[in-house]
């Protein structure tokens, strides 16, 4: 992970997915962008993506997307929350390397409208995620 590059407006999973939260907004009133951290894609070339279909439902903790690498390996992306997929990132689909080069901004994967029963419970703050990474070393 690139030191100091963990955005403060995100929440994370132990499986290296992230969810962008806007300050002052209610958790389930609007779609939230989601993606995968650079830790999951450490120093690899991304050559393809399989994203969830728009208007499909994803479940927190379940596989929802795949990132294909030049080493012919696949990184599975797990949903950070449950909800309805409202949009996918066409720029990342056209240029998959964006996911590795700029994972927290231009390389986001999809937007999800949280289900009414979804919550941020279980998602890690940036400080907690950093701690988890340091424990894994």
Which structural domain range is residue 83 located in? 39-116
* Sign of CA pseudo-dihedral 28, 14, 53, 109: positive
In a domain, 92, yes or no: yes
The predicted model scores a pTM of 0.90
Residue 102's contacts (CB-CB under 8 Å, 6 or more residues apart) are none
User: How many domains in the chain?
Assistant: 1
In a domain, 61, yes or no: yes
CATH of the domain at 56: 2.40.50.100
Residue 106 in contact with residue 100, Cβ under 8 Å? no
Q: For residue 84, how far is the Cα from the chain centroid?
A: 15
In a domain, 96, yes or no: yes
Span 16-75, pLDDT tens digits? 999 998 766 666 678 999 999 988 887 789 999 999 999 999 999 999 999 999 988 899
In a domain, 24, yes or no: no
* Sign of CA pseudo-dihedral 24, 29, 33, 37: positive
């Amino acid at each position: 992970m690139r030191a100091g590059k963990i955005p403060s407006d995100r929440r994370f999973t132990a499986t290296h997915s992230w969810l962008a939260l806007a300050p002052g907004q209610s958790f389930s009133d609007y779609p939230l962008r989601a993606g995968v951290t650079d830790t999951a894609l450490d120093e690899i070339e991304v050559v393809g993506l399989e994203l969830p279909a728009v208007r499909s439902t994803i479940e927190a903790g379940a596989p929802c997307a795949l990132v294909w690498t030049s080493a012919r390996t696949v990184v599975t992306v797990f949903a950070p929350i449950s909800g309805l997929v409202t949009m996918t990132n066409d720029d990342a689909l056209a240029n998959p390397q964006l996911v590795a080069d700029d994972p927290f901004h231009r390389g986001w994967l999809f937007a999800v409208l949280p289900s009414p029963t979804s919550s941020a419970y279980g998602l890690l703050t940036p400080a907690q995620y950093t701690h988890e990474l340091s424990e894994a070393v």
